[in-house]
Amino acid sequence: MKKVNILLAEDDPNLGQLLKNYLNAREFETTLITDGAQAMKVFRKEKFNICLLDVMMPELDGFALAKGIREIDSNIPIIFLTAKNLKQDVIEGFKSGADDYLTKPFSMEELIYRIEAILRRTSARPQDARAEVYTIGKFTFDVTKQLLVYQDQTRKLTTKESELLELLCRHRNEVLERNFALKSIWIDDNYFNARSMDVYITKLRKYLSKDESVEILNIHGKGYKLLC
Amino acid sequence: MKKVNILLAEDDPNLGQLLKNYLNAREFETTLITDGAQAMKVFRKEKFNICLLDVMMPELDGFALAKGIREIDSNIPIIFLTAKNLKQDVIEGFKSGADDYLTKPFSMEELIYRIEAILRRTSARPQDARAEVYTIGKFTFDVTKQLLVYQDQTRKLTTKESELLELLCRHRNEVLERNFALKSIWIDDNYFNARSMDVYITKLRKYLSKDESVEILNIHGKGYKLLC
DNA sequence: CCGACCTGTTAAAATACGTTAAGTCTGTTT
DNA sequence: AAACAGACTTAACGTATTTTAACAGGTCGG
């Protein structure tokens, strides 16, 4: 299946690289550009399915860039990434010009939700609405319905439980890094969110304890590994 | 198929052009005018189905413009675009003169939803209006007629019930964000409207409970997901 | 093998959501 | 105009989810 091409214009190299890695780890192909003028050039040459544009950029800001992009392709979905402390009237312009709009800081998961939602709506991608279901030992985990099934017992998971278990499943039998999980789900990897995550690990361990062959292993100083 | 004609009066040329592009990319035909006096002239000459008027404009403000427009066509739907930091009493004035109003910043999706809602209500849309009908499990939901049908039972939905269910349907199997729904339907995403929305979710859940396979799932802190 | 840091567990506090009923508003009937 | 009906909002109370706190163990480098 052909990958979705994303043009990512973000001048902060750290954030940009993080986003790119994250997106590429999923089913996307990301081109990272760190200034607006350059992004415009690249957009002329290559074919993209969606644009993620930071608002504050040197040379050419996100708003002007969007105008330029829309002159070439008036339908391409655009998502703006903006700082929280922007003035209201500036935000207006961006929000109205975009298919969607994210205020920093945002979680990676949220970004991906929004990209997928837009792709679904503009049907720039097959409508398959795949049922996301994982098998964890003797358990079955339905991500969209947030259900964990063991034999005849069904447990409704809460949103956070489900999000964390999904990440563990996606990285099963390899290390899910703490910071990665925190940024994905809690947005901020601060002390309190880390403690909160501990609590959820405990809960998930309790739920999964019915099957001896399944285990959430702690990798000291790094993260967790779901063995199954 | 005949397109819906929109008169867009917006003095900020950037925002205006973006809105125009967006609306034209959908099923609309938009005429953009950047000052109120000019808009009045154009309105006399051409036939429009709906007006989007910015409140703050040079020459002739949106309120005065609306009065003039209503003298010519007392029924044409008018949506005001207002800044959030406007005084409450000013807002009241616009509210009474308009079919609807949007507080900046708004997303394109919100705007389009409101335009379509108004066209539906006033049936000012050129006659061919595709029958918007959703299938929700064993239910059939006719958006235009506001009817929810289950086998031989037909339930008339109220306007708010219908609008909320439509948004859920448009985002089915993905998250419909609370704030988005509130701004789209209730205009303001304040505490009380949020409580009101809760009440409507309860009602819809009751109506839909006849089919076990259909569910409105709450995504804590984010919104709702219609599973079907 | 000690002290700093990281993790595990449980319970309390804070926040978000669910439900039912009473109140308000609007338009219509008599 | 008073009474009524329908739709929507507000209030009040209950439950669910998430975060914070408090304390108990573990791990690792010096």
pLDDT tens by residue, B20-37? 877 887 789 999 999 888
Query: For residue A5, which amino acid is it?
Result: N
- Which of A89-103, A185-199, B70-84 shows the lowest per-residue confidence on average (mean pLDDT)? A89-103
Binned at pLDDT 50, 70 and 90, residue A74 comes out as: confident
Residues 6+ apart with CB under 8 A from A206: none
Asked whether the predicted pLDDT for residue B92 surpasses 70, the reply is: no
DSSP per position, B83-118: ETTS-HHHHHHHHHH-SEEEEES--HHHHHHHHHHH
Inspect the interface and report whether the beta carbons of A96 and B84 lie closer than 8 Å. Answer: no
Residue nearest to nucleotide C10 (CA to C1'): A199
Residues 6+ apart with CB under 8 A from B63: B55, B93, B94, B97
- Residue A159 CB neighbours (<10 A): 17
Strand B78-83 versus strand B100-104 pairing type: parallel
Facing B217 at nearest CB: one of A66, A67, A146? A146
Residues with CB under 7 A from strand C: A 178, 194-195, 198-199, 201-202, 205-206, 218, 220-223; B 178, 194-195, 198-199, 201-202, 205-206, 218, 220-223
DSSP 8-class letter at A184: I
Distance B116 CA to D1 C1' (A): 39
Residues of A in contact with B180 (CB under 8 A): none
Binned at pLDDT 50, 70 and 90, residue B161 comes out as: very high
Q: Does B171 touch chain A (CB under 8 A)?
A: yes
Q: What is the pTM of this model?
A: 0.81
* Bases of chain C with protein Cβ within 7 A: 6-11, 16-21
Phi, psi values for residue B61, rounded to 5°? -80, 170
Inspect the interface and report whether the beta carbons of B173 and A129 lie closer than 8 Å. Answer: yes
Q: From start to end of chain A, where are the E strands?
A: 4-9, 28-33, 50-54, 78-82, 100-103, 133-136, 139-142, 147-150, 153-156, 175-177, 215-219, 223-227
Length of chain B: 228
Whether nucleic acid strand D comes within 7 Å of the CB of A99, the answer is no
Q: Omega into A126 within 30° of 0, i.e. cis?
A: no
Phi, psi values for residue A82, rounded to 5°? -125, 155
Inspect the interface and report whether the beta carbons of A93 and B174 lie closer than 8 Å. Answer: no
Whether nucleic acid strand D comes within 7 Å of the CB of B175, the answer is no
* Average pLDDT of chain B, as a whole number: 86
* Residue A135, beta-bridge partner list: A140
pLDDT at A86: 58
B177: left (phi over 0), alpha (psi -120 to 50) or beta: beta
pLDDT at A126: 42
Q: Omega into A105 within 30° of 0, i.e. cis?
A: yes
Facing A96 at nearest CB: one of B24, B83, B105? B105
pLDDT at A128: 45
Report whether A53 contacts A65 (CB < 8 A): yes
Query: How many beta-carbon contacts under 8 Å exist across A and B?
Result: 73
Query: For residue B59, which amino acid is it?
Result: E
Q: Who has greater pLDDT, A83 or A226?
A: A226
Which B residues in the span 14-73 are in contact with A, Cβ-Cβ below 8 Å?
A: 14-15, 17-19, 21-22, 24-25
* Mean pLDDT confidence for A89-111: 74
Note the pLDDT tens digit of each residue in B97-142: 677 778 777 777 888 888 888 887 776 555 444 568 999 999 999 9
Note the pLDDT tens digit of each residue in A120-168: 877 655 444 556 899 999 999 999 999 999 999 999 999 999 999 999 9
3-state helix, strand, coil in chain A (%, to 5): 45, 25, 35
* Average pLDDT of chain A, as a whole number: 88
How many angstroms separate the CA of residue A212 from the nearest CA in chain B?
A: 30
Inspect the interface and report whether the beta carbons of A159 and B21 lie closer than 8 Å. Answer: no
Which sign, positive or negative, has the C-alpha torsion B186, A111, A131, A198? negative
Closest-approach residue (CA) in chain A for B13: A93
* Residue B140, beta-bridge partner list: B135, B149
Cα gap A200→A198, rounded to integer Å: 5
CA A42 vs CA A33, A34, B38: distances in Å:
8, 11, 39
* Bases of chain D with protein Cβ within 7 A: 6-12, 16-22, 27-28
Which A residues in the span 71-130 are in contact with B, Cβ-Cβ below 8 Å?
A: 74-75, 88-89, 91-101, 113, 116-117, 120, 129
* Mean pLDDT confidence for A191-197: 97
- Residue B194 CB neighbours (<10 A): 15
Query: For residue A211, which amino acid is it?
Result: D
Percent of chain A with pLDDT over 70: 89
Length of chain A: 228
- Which of A97-111, A153-167, B153-167, B205-219 shows the lowest per-residue confidence on average (mean pLDDT)? A97-111
pLDDT at B217: 98
